[in-house]
Chain A
Amino acid sequence: METRTVAFVAPPELRPQEPAPANTRGAIGWARAHLFGSVGQVLLTLLGIFVVYAVVPPLLKFFVFEAVWTGTGRDDCLPEKIGRPVGACWPFIWAKWNQILYGFYPAAERWRVNTVYLMGALLLAPLLFPKLPFKRLNALAFFGIYPVIAFVLLTGGDLDMRTFLLGWTGLDFGLASFAGLRVGFWLQFILVALIAAGIGMLVCPFFGGERGSVAKSILKVFAVLGVILLVVDLDFGLEPVETRQWGGLLVTLVIAVTGITVSLPFGILLALGRRSDYPLVKYASIIFIEFWRGVPLITVLFFATYMLPLFLPGRFTIDGLLRALVGVALFASAYMAEVVRGGLQAIPKGQYEGAMALGLRSGFMMRLVVLPQALKLVIPGIVNNFIGLFKDTTLVLIVSIFDLLGILRASFTDPAWATPTTLFTGFGFAGIVYFVFCYGMSRYSMALEKRLDRSHRH
């Protein structure tokens, strides 16, 4: 077919395409469109410039240009001693560095904390990158094995347990011990496992279960528990370090990581429980969630630390940090449950019906169809909770646990470093640390959202 030129259409080769007018491209064009497009925009832009001008130069001046970077004591950070205006007193941070990282952890044992930090980073990093293989193994290592090893390393292990659930009966198999293990304890443990399996076998017919398999699963649970107890009970020759000596970033991370890893699974269970058809499960979940959402975290911590010991019998004490950990974990779980429930409610009924039509039982329906979609929807909410939890950890200061901020506050009282700017340096540093962690979480969640959202991008 021959081509005909139409008279009123210019042939393409006649005039080269011209670039867009200068005032609509490049930096100028962008500025015109985005910064000075209208009177309102111009005003906002000027306001923005003013805010930046008012905030950034003084901050830089204080934290960088006028800051003192090296020194050995308060004299190096005093304007009248060094003869110039002084901003941040960074030597204070260097001097307190070990306390910021480890609290009052004994210097000779700090390698244990370092090992825990390093192991955590090495196990967590591959878990965060979706492309890397062995996810199942990696998750088992991080969520199952790592906490036990971290516990032994940080506390020293060798719990020296005497009785297992049967202490109240007065049953005592004697105190013979072997490698830090008490024989009496383990005899009791085996006895309890057998009793539990027996009870399981007795009652299972009423629920339509099969005797052999029920007993087997109960024994399996006890076997896993036994391995964990064995590891924390063994004497590895590590010097015991009481939790009162922990502090700084160590405590902040222990509380935050525990809270985060406990709250997600528990929150999901509670959310499912709240939507359950069984009244007992449903109301138990509702009461739990509403109770913990209804009390402030400070009250929970305060109660756990100061009131609980008054109610417990004399010799029975629970470690202070553990009490705070449990309080934070329960509190975070209740919040997480409501976030997850929001996601569950957003899944259309058709998804449930579709899953049922495929013949999936309710457990599989939740695991394979509903939860993956629901959790994806609420990633921003979940990460919001994580970030909030991370920052809330600092509330443990009021129950005499010295987290990152607590250790800094204690350090402010060291007369060897008391200067007019020590306080601001310390808080500035704490702000930077918190920002690094929270911003990291936030960026990761955004990347995750992007990756998971590929299927229905609008």
Chain B
Amino acid sequence: MSRTFKHFLLAAGMLAMGASAAGAATLDDVKARSALNCGVSQGLPGFSNPDDKGNWAGLDVDFCRAIAAAIFNDPTKVKFSPLSAKDRFTALQSGAIDVLSRNTTWTMSRDTTLGFNFAGVMYYDGQGFMVRKSLNLKSVSDLNGASICVQTGTTNELNVGDYFRTNNLKYELIAFATIDETIKAYDSGRCDAFTADQSQLYAVRLKLTNAADHVVLQQVISKEPLGPLVRQGDDQWFDLVKWTYFAMLDAEELGVNSKNVDQMGSTANPEIKRLLGTDGKFGEAIGISNDWVARIVKHVGNYGEVFDRNLGPATPLAINRGQNNLWNNGGLQYGMPVR
């Protein structure tokens, strides 16, 4: 389906339902049905994938659980809709879901013309390279003259061309139709490097015959800020989703985690008191209880805990925090202050 046609469909959908959906208070709807409708991916390792018990798990999934915890004090009051890349925007626009937390790149056109608001960046992703450890490469410029495996028809393929040409590096692109073919080719030694978004590279690494022999280079050649988004036109709901994200970051920065959150309430630190709702009425401002952050951290955890649980070194994926570290740890994650 062509892009124009897709946009046409979206526009038609907006016309058909936009009027009623935009004006409605999403929070009231969510409270009335006693469940959050959350759109997630149909399967992306560490972001949203079904676990052995048949529950959805992952970073994107836990963000929705955090919103549910803030509203209901119960992280299980979420209905997950696994969406494909094609139907994710239609689902949000038509009101079938309240929030789309599905590794969606924040771009201008999505933020403006499609009628969405991005609430933050849950994961700073970017196109990276995976190479064999034995090659001892440190940066992308060391890949001069390398053969690179890539899935054809992706933006990754275009990005590699742009980057190598602008930096006067020689390269040979070996493209394959599906991701599994590409993995197989790289695994059998057809190419020196494998390129895709970094989050994907870590997942691909698990499928290689000897995962430990491969390393994902830290450097990225493109910006893929992945974050949750909501419909335009409901500022209260937008605020709630946005501040759920900030609260998870603030909690990590202030050292509040799921284990110590109950004791932290009685601390003298005014910042923590405001965050946990023992001081001030910040929750009421977004239409929920004042101890909303305490609920999030207690049931789901702070950003660092959620990251470690789903993507961190203790998981098979073993993704380095990198850009997703807090701002005071050399990363880009920066929670706005609650005050």
Residue B187, interface by CB 8 Å? yes
Query: Smallest CB–CB gap between A194 and chain B, Å?
Result: 36
A398 touches B94 (CB 8 A): no
Instruction: Assess whether B49 is in contact with A423, with CB atoms less than 8 Å apart.
Output: no
Task: State whether the Cβ of A121 lies closer than 8 Å to any Cβ in chain B.
Answer: no
B52 nearest CB neighbor, chain A only = A95
Contact B20–A410 (Cβ < 8 Å): no
Main secondary structure of the interface of A (DSSP, over half): helix
Is the pair A98, B54 in contact by a Cβ cutoff of 8 Å? yes
Assess whether B43 is in contact with A413, with CB atoms less than 8 Å apart.
yes
For residue A323, CB closer than 8 A to chain B, the reply is no
CB contact under 8 A between A414 and B50, given known A306-B90, A310-B9 = yes
Interface size class of A (residues with CB under 8 A): 35 or more
Shortest Cβ distance from residue B96 to the other chain A in the assembled complex, whole angstroms: 8
Residues of A within 8 A of B83 (CB): 400
**B12 at the A/B interface (Cβ < 8 Å)?**
yes
Contact A79 B316 (CB under 8 A): no
Contact B212 A80 (CB under 8 A): yes
Considering the chains assembled together, what is the distance between the CA atoms of A78 and B208 in angstroms? 10
Q: Are A413 and B54 in contact (CB under 8 A)?
A: no
Report if A244 contacts B (CB, 8 A): yes
CA distance A99 to B83 in the complex (A): 18
Interface centre among A99, A105, A242, A306 (most CB of B within 10 A): A306
Pair B316/A416 contact, Cβ less than 8 Å: yes
CB distance from B139 to the nearest CB of A (A): 27
A310 & B209 in contact (Cβ 8 Å cutoff): no
Render A218-247 as a binary contact track against B, CB cut-off 8 A, 1 for contact: 000000000000000000000000101000
Establish whether residues A314 and B49, one from each chain, have CB atoms under 8 Å apart when the complex forms: no
- A53: min CB distance to chain B, Å: 24
Contact at A415–B315, with CB atoms within 8 Å?
Answer: yes
B286 an interface residue at 8 Å Cβ cutoff?
no
Q: Is the CB of B52 within 8 A of A314?
A: no
Q: Which of B96, B211, B315 has the most CB of A within 10 A?
A: B211
Contact pattern, B 1-12, Cβ under 8 Å of A = 1, otherwise 0? 000000001001
Which residue of the partner chain, among B17, B43, B87, contacts A306 with CB atoms under 8 Å?
A: B87
What distance in Å separates the Cβ of B119 from its nearest Cβ neighbour in chain A? 23
Query: A112 at the A/B interface (Cβ < 8 Å)?
Result: no
Tell whether A419 is near chain B: CB-to-CB under 8 Å.
Answer: yes
Q: Are the C-beta atoms of A418 and B207 separated by less than 8 Å? A: yes
A415 and B9 contact, CB distance less than 8 A: no
- In the assembly, what is the distance between CA of A382 and CA of B90, in Å? 38
- A402 within 8 Å of B by Cβ? yes
Q: A15-41 toward B: CB 8 Å interface, digit per residue (1/0)?
A: 000000000000000000000000000
Q: Does B203 contact A (CB under 8 A)?
A: yes
Using Cβ atoms and an 8 Å threshold, which residues of chain B touch A398? 84
- Residue B113 is within 8 A (CB to CB) of chain A in the complex: no
Q: Which residue of B13, B50, B180, B315 contacts A423 across the interface (Cβ within 8 Å)?
A: B180
CB of B82 closer than 8 Å to a CB of A: yes
Chain B residues lying within 8 Å of A423, measured Cβ to Cβ, are 180, 207
Contact between B206 and A418, CB atoms less than 8 A apart = yes
- For A400-440 the 0/1 string (1 means CB < 8 A from B) is 10100011011111111011101100000000000000000
- Contacts of A422 on B, CB cut-off 8 Å? 207
Cross-chain contact B203 with A415 (CB below 8 angstroms): yes
Tell me whether A418 and B316 are in contact (CB under 8 A).
yes
- Inside 8 A of A413's CB, which chain B residues have their CB? 43-45, 49-50, 203
In angstroms, Cα B94 to Cα A8, docked, is 100
Determine whether the beta carbon of A414 is less than 8 Å from that of B206: no
A96 vs B203: C-alpha distance in the bound complex, in angstroms? 19
A247 to chain B, nearest CB (A): 9
How many Å from the CB of A269 to the closest CB on chain B? 35
Tell me if A56 counts as interface (CB < 8 A to partner B).
no
Contact A419 B207 (CB under 8 A): yes
Contact B42 A400 (CB under 8 A): yes
- A310 and B208 contact, Cβ closer than 8 Å, known pairs A104-B54, A413-B43, A413-B49: no
Chain A residues whose C-beta falls within 8 Å of the C-beta of B86 in the assembled complex: 306
Query: Is B46 in the interface zone, CB < 8 Å from A?
Result: yes
Q: How far is the CA of A410 from the CA of B50 in the complex (A)?
A: 7
Chain A stretch 76-132: residues in CB contact (< 8 A) with chain B: 78-80, 95-96, 98-99, 102-105, 107
Known: A411-B50, A418-B45. 15 other contacts (CB 8 A): A74-B316, A99-B54, A104-B54, A107-B54, A310-B13, A311-B16, A398-B84, A402-B82, A410-B43, A410-B49, A413-B50, A414-B50, A416-B316, A418-B207, A420-B187
A–B complex contacts, Cβ < 8 Å, 25 sampled:
A99-B54, A103-B54, A104-B50, A104-B54, A105-B54, A244-B79, A305-B87, A310-B9, A310-B13, A310-B90, A310-B94, A314-B16, A400-B82, A400-B83, A409-B43, A410-B42, A410-B82, A411-B49, A415-B45, A415-B315, A416-B52, A420-B187, A420-B207, A423-B180, A423-B207
Binding site for B on A (CB under 8 A): 74, 78-80, 95-96, 98-99, 102-105, 107, 242, 244, 305-307, 309-311, 313-314, 398, 400, 402, 406-407, 409-416, 418-420, 422-423
